[in-house]
Amino acid sequence: MLEIGTKAPSFSLPDQNGQIHTLEEYRGRKIVLYFYPKDNTSGCTKQACGFGELYPQFQEKGAVVIGVSKDSVASHKKFEEKYQLPFTLLSDQELSCIQAYDVWKEKMNYGKVSMGIVRTTYLIDENGVIVKALSKVKAADNPSQMLGELERLQEP
């Protein structure tokens, strides 16, 4: 996991519509950048729907929500449409962003070791600096947890 206070690694990835997004285009806004294992799985769906429900509150606080997984653009499109997700989903099939953010790790599942995405969420400030980093987050709790982090940032 990347350390708080470090500059967020740049990325250039396609979203669910095939449009390329870069970190730089979000300069001046806070970013909730969350990495999740797979579209349409129970935990990832809970997390995405939670971010979707709270999205207006994230917007009120000047933040965008971006989800990243190694699923294809087509998979993201189906996921977005099925759950009416109002935010950007980025496809990183080459794992460039996933590895840059240090979330591609060895995982143990039913006694079997494999490589995969460890569910991780970063809060990046308007200047592109990581101000919060949470690893192994609970999918259902993560959206409200991140909203709370944003509120704490805005306290005087």
Which residues form the catalytic set? 44
Alpha-carbon Rg for the chain, nearest whole angstrom, is: 14
For 31, counting Cβ atoms within 10 Å of its Cβ (0-12 exposed, 13-18 middle, 19+ buried), the class is: buried
H/E element, 59? helix 42-60
Residue entry with tokens 């709270």? 54
Question: CB–CB of 107/90 below 8 Å?
Answer: no
Report residue 150 as tokens: 């944003």
Candidates 66, 86, 82; CA nearest to 74 is 82
Find all residues with CB under 8 Å of 16, minimum gap 6, and list them: 73, 76, 77, 79, 80, 88, 89, 91
